[in-house]
Every structure is written in structure tokens, then in C-alpha cells.
Structure 1
Amino acid sequence: MPPIRPEAKKLMGARLARSIAQGALVVDFALYVTKLGWSATFLGVVFALAILFAVLLTATIGPASDRFGRKRFVLIFEAIAIIASLLGLLSQAPVALACAAIIGGFGRGANGAAGPFAPAEQSWLSGYIDKRDFGAVLSLNIAIGFFGMAIGAVLAGVIGARQPLFILPLAASLVAATLLIITPDRARSVEVVRNNEAAASKVENGLLWRLAGLNVLNGTGIGLSGPFMSWWFAAKFHASASSIGPALAIGFIAAGVASLTSGHLTRRLGTVRTVVLMRGIGLVSLFALPFAPSFVVATFIYAVRSAFNRGTAGARQAVALGLVRGDRRGLAASVNTISVLVPRGIAPALAGVLFETGALAAPFLLAGLFQGAYLFFYPRVFAAHDPSRS
């Protein structure tokens, strides 16, 4: 691991605090509001509105942070998160709690990222990392989030699906805000471009369009399977929440370890090759998962799949941020996030229809086809733009 600057460590500490709270809410939020009488339909609408809210903000935050600075936007997120947590603590009214969930992202999980303000956070962090070290350091940052999510999942079992649960996101936001306040927003230098500025931007825009196209394939594959894992475990193996919770926690831990491994591999094999190798193993696991003969075997395959798919998140972030100059990384982060988020929000509708018909394997196989296409094109598009080779 290359040396990490103190400023970057503070940003990673904020991510750890957020991830613990997010891990707890992934487990307990849906259970809590169900006790309050929320229907599955109403909960689904709230999640859909939360995704819409995230997409609309993400589209503007990245480019705006390129122009006005990163720090102020991430601090705005923490202020919103504090308000959402207080709403959860002080009210059980459906409208108030739904608004809190929409703006706070309750129950969706973001691996410790700053929700729709994540593009500003990513570009802020990248300013304290040498480009050749993007893969290693961003992978460590992602791993910290996974380990925090696992801790939060365990804490959720201790606290239970009760209103005091919202103390966790409140405390996390206060800790994160404190760390952000004492972290300087690095002054953005004007990078010298030999060729015409417009020509350079045109090349970068073309790469971002290709990134978005590939991410649609990836996001569709994720949306066809990821959101239904708890449901699928229960439907296929009649597993209870007490069994499914630890299974998901194991997946988070495995992903964290894999993310650390991918950071090491990016320095030896290159960032793009690392993504292809690890996602290839994850793809094989995805095809095998629906045919697992028992819950134990399925849990093992799920952990492998989670590790090798999610473990490349930092490496893929590194490739996306490395496609553009430093003063456009907020834009790149926004494009990278939105192009995955939108299909992830749409694809579950198709998966739900398939699962409802009793086709418990079809969504996984269809997801595998989309992710296989993504894996085929990824090195062909980005091999020449590997940040670890800079």
C-alpha cells in the first residue's frame, strides 16, 4: 500500500462512520417500518423515490463540485443526514419517516459513501492520491466501507428494529462532519493541456459515454439479482432473518477482504486486468448460485460472488476517475454513479415479475448475460486508459 496522506485518512474515517450506520439500517429499517404498518408496496415506492432523489442530485453535484469545490457539498450531505436521523428519532408518522428515508437513503446501503454527494467525496479524495495509486488507495477506501457495513449489520441485531436505531446514523453523521470540517479542500490546480482545451474535453467526453454504456450493462445485471437476495434465500431455502443476516454480513466481510486484495493486484497486474480477473470469477459464481443445493452452499457461493464482484469497486472507480483531468473528476464520478444507479433502479421490476412466476433461476442467469457482456467489452474499451500505467 502506498503512503496515505493524513487528509485522505480523515475522509476514510468519515466513510467508516457512515458505513456502520448504513449497515445497521440495511438490516433493520425495512423490519422497523413493517412493524409500524408499512406495506411492501409503500416501502417499494419510498425506495424508488429515494433512487430518483439520488439520481437527480448526483447529476448536478459532481459537475458543481468541480466548479465550486468539494468540501461544502459533502458537508451539506452530512447536514441532510443529521436532519433525516432526527426525523427518524422523533417521529413515527409515515410521511415524516418516508421523507427521512428518501433524503437519508435509509435501508439502501451505500458502503459508507456520501449518498448522492458521493461524486464530490470521490473527487475530493482523489486530490490527495497520485494517479498511479488510484487503484490501491480507492480499493482500501471501499474495503473500509464493507467492513463498516459488516459491523453495522451485527449492531443491528443487538439494537433490534426499534426507534433508537436512528441514534447510529445521527452519531455517524456527527463524527463524519467533524472529520470533514478539519480536512482542507485541496486547491484545484489548472492542468496544462497541450492540445486545444475543447479537443481534450471531447476525447474525455467520448470515454465517459463509453463508461456510461458499459455501466448500464453492469447496473442491469446487479439490479436483476442483488435486491432480491434476502427474498431468494427465504423463498428457496425457507431461511429466517436470523440466518440471512449473518449470510449478508459474511458477504460484506468477504467483499472487504477482496477489495484489499484487488488494491494489491492493481499494482502488480494493472487496474483493468484486476477488474477482468476478479469479475470473471464473480461471473462464474453468479451462474452457479441459483443451482446451489442447500442454504450453506448458497451462502458460500454468495460470499465468493460478493467478494469478487464488489471487491473491484475501488478499481473501477480508479479507472473512471482516471479517464479525465483532475478538474473534471466530479463529472466523471457523477457519470459513473448515475449510469449504474438508473438501471439498478429499473431492473428489479423485471426480476420481480420473473420471481413471482416461480422462475427462481432465470433472473440470475439473465443477470449473468448482462455482466458477461460488460466483462467482454470492459478491457477492449479501457485497457489503453489504465491509471496504474500512468
Structure 2
Amino acid sequence: MLLRRYKDKTVLHLQIARTLRSITQGIAVVDLTLYLKDLHWSGAAIGAVMSAAGLVGAALILLVGIMSDRLGRKPFLIVYEILTAIAALLMVFTTQPVILTLIIVLTGFGRGQNGAAGPFTPAEQAWMAARVPQSERGSVFSTNTALGFFGMAIGALVAGTPSLWREQLPGALGFHPLFVLMFLISLACVTVIATAPTGKTVDTASTHTRNPAPPAPALSNKATESTIRRQENRNMAKLAAVNVLNGLAIGFMGPMMSYWFSTKFGVSSSEIGTTLAVSFLLTALSSLITGFLTRRFGMVRSVVWLQLFGIAMVILLPLAPTFWLASAIYVIRSAFSRGTQGARSALSSSLTRDQRRGFSVSMNSLAMRLPSAIGPTLSGTMLDAGIFTVPFLITGALQLCSTLLYGRLFRGFDVHGSDEERPAHPDDQRKEST
């Protein structure tokens, strides 16, 4: 729907790649921890490697953000897809812990990134933001997120298929055909990204056509540039503070949900895959609805209210006595909380001008990924000890603090009135006049 209204071939290629990529991630988020469990890894060991993936990803994400602003975004995404393809193929031929750890750490397999390009996400988001007017970003990024969750739903369903050939490929061997499929999909992503058009960015001045502000003087001295950069830096610092809390919350249970379902209820990959597939499907629909809400009520206000409802579900989830009740609560929680990711990405990509956008996205992703790396180690150890409730309570408390702070610090970025658009930051008009 949105692509028919706002057509851009580069955006189309990026969204196709995200959809394909998310299928592989949907498979991994269900099956990776179960695969490692079949290889007799403990919950603490699985959590530790997930934490290591978060730390390495945080370091890479900062490097990619800075370098992609200088060298362009396309080469970094191609490198990521090639690395993912190689990693998926290696998982077919080896079960050596050192190699598996290296694969997970470099690619972020199993961390449920809904189609984002792992540590190379800043290049992806900055490239897309450069092609989309600021007034459309909330909707376009929400649509992009929805496509990722649709793909994750397909991948989660596919992840349950090892039960079909358990007699022929018992135990951990049953996951190998899925790794081959992930390899082939990653090759397709390489082709899609490689053929994406490159060219000039959109004219962001066209995003403020309704009730435009009076033109501001052109940049003419270093003092004005310094003022703009300080404002951008303040906005990035505020969002980074929010993302630290949100990252801590996400890290506690996000990468370990399949392991939690399996350990607490003793269910199979097929049952877990069905639950996650439904959650991804409803989250995709929620993301599309969020895109509409951002245009009606503003990005920040929409995120806050949806997140608050999702937090209530997080608190209730570990209290469910049966797998199917827990699944239903998880599905609802996912739809409300994770459906806001597109709107949050849109805000993150709108804090600076294009020449610093990759840096902005990487800094805020870094603020989320570093603390999220702590969670899996702690929650994995708790689950091994039979502590199934505390991780969710910690998650809920952290997300509540993050959400309230987000609403407080960024409420000024929402649209005020149906016919008035606020610029991405107070100095946007100066940039547009140059």
C-alpha cells in the first residue's frame, strides 16, 4: 500500500532483502538455541555466546555507522549478506563449539532482529532514510518492520519442520536442511542488494510543504554549524540514554524465549515455532497499524501507549500455568511492544542530517546492544537454576522506565495538529535552506 503511494526502487530492493533476510532470522530465533541444546550446550553457555554476539555486534555497529557515512551504505550490506551465507553453510559441516561461537558472534544468529542487517543495520537504515522524506519515515519504516515480521513468521513456521524427518535425521542433524535453506536465501539477498540502484537522496525540503516555516538564513559560518551539531548531539545522547534501559530489558529474555518455552514446558520446536510465527504475524500487522497511528497521533505518543500495554503482558507472561496460555500472552505482548520498532527507527534516523545519519543510528544501536549483551548470560543462568519468573519482572521494570523516559524526552518530536509538521530537529530548516 505504502509502496504504491511512495515509489522508490532502492527502498523496494531494501524491503525485499529485509523480507528474505527475516525468513532466515525467523528460523534461527526458534531453532538455534534448540540446536545448541541438542548439542548438549547448557543454558549458561548458550546465554554466554549470545552475550558475546551482542558485544561484538556493538563494536561492529559503531564502526559500520561511521564508515558507511564516508564510503557509502551498499558495500557494507553486501558484505553482511556474504558473511551470513558463509556462516549458514559452515553450520552444516561442523559442530565444533569454537566455530559455532564464531558464527553466532559475527552474524548475530538467533537474536531475533526481524530482518535487520545485524551489526550492519546503521548502513541499512541510513540508506533507506536518505531515500524517504522525513514526513513519510514513520510509515515507511513501520512498513519495513512489518515486512520483517511477516518474513520472521514464515521462518518460524519453517523452523518447526525438523520434526518431519526426525527418523531420517535424528537429534541435531534434523536442523541441517534448514541451514542449507538459510544459505540459499542469503545468496538471494546478495543479489537483491547488489542490484539496488544508487543515486541522489531525496529533497527533504519537500517534506515540509504544509504550513512551512519561514526560510532561515543559509549556513554561513562555523558557529552556525557548531550549533546544529550540538543540537544533534544532544538528541542522540538523550535517545542513547533511553536505549540503554531498553537494551537491558530486551537482552534478558529476547534471545532466550525458545529456551524458556522448552525448559519450562518441555515443548518441541514445532510448537515453539507455531507460537513465534503467530506472534511475528500479529506484530507485522501491529507495525502497519503503528505506521498509521504515527501519522495520526505522532511517532512518540504512539510508541509510548503501545509499549505500556506490552509491558503489562510481560509481567503476566511468566505467571501463565500452561504453554498455550503463555503463548497467547506472548503473542499479544509481541504485537504491542515489538510493533513499535519501525516508529522508533524512524525517530532515530531523523535526529541528524544525512551526512551524520549512519553515525546517529550506530550510536543509538550501540547504546542498546551493549547492555542487551549482558542479559542472556544472566537469564540463561537463572533458567538453569529453575528461576523462570524473575527475568520477566526485570524486563518489565526496565521497559517501563525506558518508555516513560522516551515519552518525556521526545514528546516535542510529534506532529502538533493535523496540518502541521515538526522538523526532525530544531535546526532542520537551516539545513534545508542550503
TM-score above 0.5, yes or no:
yes
**Are 1:226 and 2:254 matched, yes or no?**
yes
How far, CA to CA, are the matches of 1:4 and 1:121 in structure 2?
18
User: Taking structure 1 as reference, are residues 230 and 32 closer, same or farther at Cα in structure 2, changes over 3 Å only?
Assistant: closer
Letter paired with 1:72:
P
Aligned-partner SS, 2:58: helix
After superposition, where does 1:314-325 map in structure 2 within 5 Å? 314-325=342-353
**Are 1:166 and 2:169 matched, yes or no?**
no
Match of 1:304 among 332, 337, 360: 332
After superposition, where does 1:141-220 map in structure 2 within 5 Å? 141-159=144-162, 161-187=174-200, 193=219, 196-220=224-248
What is the CA-CA distance between 1:26 and the residue it aligns to? 2.0
User: Taking structure 1 as reference, are residues 193 and 133 closer, same or farther at Cα in structure 2, changes over 3 Å only?
Assistant: farther
Letter paired with 1:79:
I
Match of 1:134 among 132, 137, 143: 137
Range that drifts further, 83-92 or 301-310: 83-92
User: Does the 8 A contact of 1:124 with 1:185 survive in 2?
Assistant: no
How far, CA to CA, are the matches of 1:80 and 1:6 in structure 2?
25
Letter paired with 2:135:
R
Letter paired with 1:383:
R
After superposition, where does 1:29-44 map in structure 2 within 5 Å? 29-44=32-47
Range that drifts further, 240-249 or 37-46: 37-46
User: Taking structure 1 as reference, are residues 240 and 75 closer, same or farther at Cα in structure 2, changes over 3 Å only?
Assistant: closer
User: Does the 8 A contact of 2:282 with 2:331 survive in 1?
Assistant: yes
Letter paired with 1:305:
R
User: Does the 8 A contact of 1:258 with 1:311 survive in 2?
Assistant: yes
What is the CA-CA distance between 1:278 and the residue it aligns to? 0.8
User: Taking structure 1 as reference, are residues 127 and 173 closer, same or farther at Cα in structure 2, changes over 3 Å only?
Assistant: same
User: Does the 8 A contact of 1:270 with 1:389 survive in 2?
Assistant: no
1:223-246, Cα deviation, whole Å (9 max, x unpaired): 233234334434544444432221
User: Does the 8 A contact of 1:188 with 1:327 survive in 2?
Assistant: no
Partner of 2:16: 13
Partner of 1:278: 306
What is the CA-CA distance between 1:174 and the residue it aligns to? 1.5
**Are 1:77 and 2:80 matched, yes or no?**
yes
Letter paired with 2:407:
P
Range that drifts further, 187-196 or 159-168: 187-196
What is the CA-CA distance between 1:114 and the residue it aligns to? 1.2
User: Taking structure 1 as reference, are residues 381 and 358 closer, same or farther at Cα in structure 2, changes over 3 Å only?
Assistant: same
What is the CA-CA distance between 1:145 and the residue it aligns to? 0.7
User: Taking structure 1 as reference, are residues 372 and 35 closer, same or farther at Cα in structure 2, changes over 3 Å only?
Assistant: closer
Partner of 1:113: 116
1:340-373, Cα deviation, whole Å (9 max, x unpaired): 1111111334434555555433322222221111
Aligned-partner SS, 1:162: helix
User: Does the 8 A contact of 1:28 with 1:156 survive in 2?
Assistant: yes
**Stretches of structure 2 lacking an aligned partner (at least 5 in a row):** 164-173, 205-217, 416-420, 424-434
User: Taking structure 1 as reference, are residues 224 and 69 closer, same or farther at Cα in structure 2, changes over 3 Å only?
Assistant: same
Partner of 2:427: none
Range that drifts further, 165-174 or 53-62: 165-174
How far, CA to CA, are the matches of 2:263 and 2:38 in structure 1?
21
Percent of aligned positions with the same letter in both sequences? 41
**Structure label with greater radius of gyration:** 2
User: Taking structure 1 as reference, are residues 15 and 303 closer, same or farther at Cα in structure 2, changes over 3 Å only?
Assistant: same
Partner of 2:210: none
RMSD: 2.4
Match of 1:122 among 125, 149, 170: 125
What is the CA-CA distance between 1:53 and the residue it aligns to? 2.0
What is the CA-CA distance between 1:317 and the residue it aligns to? 0.5
What is the CA-CA distance between 1:33 and the residue it aligns to? 4.0
User: Taking structure 1 as reference, are residues 352 and 159 closer, same or farther at Cα in structure 2, changes over 3 Å only?
Assistant: closer
Q: TM-score, normalised by structure 1?
A: 0.92
User: Does the 8 A contact of 1:62 with 1:330 survive in 2?
Assistant: yes
Match of 1:333 among 348, 354, 361: 361
Match of 2:270 among 239, 242, 249: 242
What is the CA-CA distance between 1:115 and the residue it aligns to? 1.2
User: Taking structure 1 as reference, are residues 190 and 20 closer, same or farther at Cα in structure 2, changes over 3 Å only?
Assistant: closer
User: Taking structure 1 as reference, are residues 75 and 48 closer, same or farther at Cα in structure 2, changes over 3 Å only?
Assistant: same
**Stretches of structure 1 lacking an aligned partner (at least 5 in a row):** none
Letter paired with 2:358:
G
Letter paired with 1:343:
P
Partner of 1:63: 66
Aligned-partner SS, 1:112: coil
User: Taking structure 1 as reference, are residues 100 and 238 closer, same or farther at Cα in structure 2, changes over 3 Å only?
Assistant: closer
**Are 1:23 and 2:21 matched, yes or no?**
no
How far, CA to CA, are the matches of 2:379 and 2:35 in structure 1?
25
User: Taking structure 1 as reference, are residues 325 and 257 closer, same or farther at Cα in structure 2, changes over 3 Å only?
Assistant: same
How far, CA to CA, are the matches of 1:244 and 1:312 in structure 2?
23
What is the CA-CA distance between 1:120 and the residue it aligns to? 0.2
User: Taking structure 1 as reference, are residues 231 and 83 closer, same or farther at Cα in structure 2, changes over 3 Å only?
Assistant: closer
